[in-house]
Amino acid sequence: MSTSRERVLARVRAALTDVPADEPVVRPVERPYADSHGMGAALEVLEDRLRDYKALVRRVPADRLAEEVAAALERRGASTVAVPEGVDADWFARTGAERRPDSRERPLELRELDGVDGVVTACAVAIAETGTIVLDGGADQGRRAITLVPDYHLCVVRADQVVDGVPQAVRRLDPARPLTWISGPSATSDIELNRVEGVHGPRTLEVLLVE
């Protein structure tokens, strides 16, 4: 193994004889591009983009979150939901849906996860311009598998988690954590370029934007 390593590195070095020895390896940190593109108020833009991806979106006042969670689960007919252990229990004050808590220490079995009606999580950051929600595995977002296997994902996004552009989001995120960037539900365009929502991931993404 180490011989291949040395061989590849030697080939790389031999290929780069045109590079002056004193050329700096570190690039100066200049960002000639914009942080965002002035497309409008972040929440409006996010809502628009998410709808464009066929996600369901509701703007909800903070003091009505529990009602809205209950109403969303009811509309969906979701009676069992996976929930990361760190999610605020108040969110579920008004719903009769059965919660199946999940954490890295006490994970649900895959088959059990496959059997629940949906999953409810928070998020780390949301990017308005691209309609993207990022999960970082925090205690209120949980393991990557729980937002993947169930067919319905209800995601609660707080207004203060929404940024305008991609660079702002990247700066807020910690690469040491496993990240999942979600822009609408699972989709494919592989068959004559017809977009079909939902192949392997959740086919329905519902977002509650909490103001």
Partner 1 sequence: MSATFLGIPPFPEAARAAVDDSRLRHNLRKATHTIRDKRGAVVTELEEDWERLRSEGAAIKSHTLRHLDHYLEQLESSVERAGGHVHWAADAAEANAIVTRLVQATGETDVVKVKSMATQEIELNNALAEAGITAYETDLAELIVQLGDDLPSHILVPAIHLGRSQIREIFLDQMAEWGVAAPEGLTDDPRALAEAARVHLRERFLRTRTAISGANFAVADSGTLVVLESEGNGRMCLTLPETLISVVGIEKIVPTWADLEVFMQTLPRSSTGERMNPYTSTWTGVTPGDGPQEFHLVLLDNGRTDVLADTVGRQALRCIRCSACLNTCPVYERTGGHAYGSVYPGPIGAILTPQLRGMSSEVDEALPYASSLCGACYEVCPVAIDIPEVLVHLREEVAAGPGHLGEKAMMKGAEAVLGSSHALNAAQHAAGAARNLVPRHLPGMAGAWTDTRDLPDVPAESFRQWWNKHEKGQS
List binders of partner 1 among 58-97 (CB under 8 A): none
Distance of CA 116 to the CA centre of its chain: 20
Q: Which is nearer to partner 1, 188 or 211 (CB)?
A: 188
* Angstrom distance (rounded) from CA 124 to CA 79: 26
Per the CB < 8 A criterion, the answer to whether 211 and 61 are in contact is yes
Q: Which is nearer to partner 1, 23 or 63 (CB)?
A: 23
> Among positive and negative, which fits the CA dihedral 136, 138, 144, 150?
negative
166 contributes a contact to partner 1 by CB under 8 A: yes
What are the structure tokens assigned to 83, written together?
């929930």
Q: Which is nearer to partner 1, 58 or 195 (CB)?
A: 195
Q: Coil, helix or strand for 72?
A: helix
23 contributes a contact to partner 1 by CB under 8 A: yes
- E strand or H helix that includes residue 120: strand 118-121
Q: Which is nearer to partner 1, 80 or 103 (CB)?
A: 103
16 contributes a contact to partner 1 by CB under 8 A: yes
- Of these, 95, 132, 161, 204, which contacts partner 1 (CB under 8 A)? 132
21 contributes a contact to partner 1 by CB under 8 A: no
- Of these, 85, 148, 158, 172, which contacts partner 1 (CB under 8 A)? 148
- Of these, 27, 62, 63, 96, which contacts partner 1 (CB under 8 A)? 27
What are the structure tokens assigned to 166, written together?
């991609």
Phi, psi of 121 (to 5 degrees): -140, 170
Nearest in space to 44 (alpha carbons), one of 120, 125, 126: 126
Minimum Å distance from CB 211 to partner 1? 23
Distance of CA 86 to the CA centre of its chain: 16
Mask 181-200, x = binds partner 1 (CB under 8 A)?
Answer: xxxxxxxxxxxxxx-x-xxx
Per the CB < 8 A criterion, the answer to whether 67 and 96 are in contact is no
Minimum Å distance from CB 106 to partner 1? 9
177 contributes a contact to partner 1 by CB under 8 A: yes
Minimum Å distance from CB 162 to partner 1? 15
- Of these, 22, 32, 89, 96, which contacts partner 1 (CB under 8 A)? 32
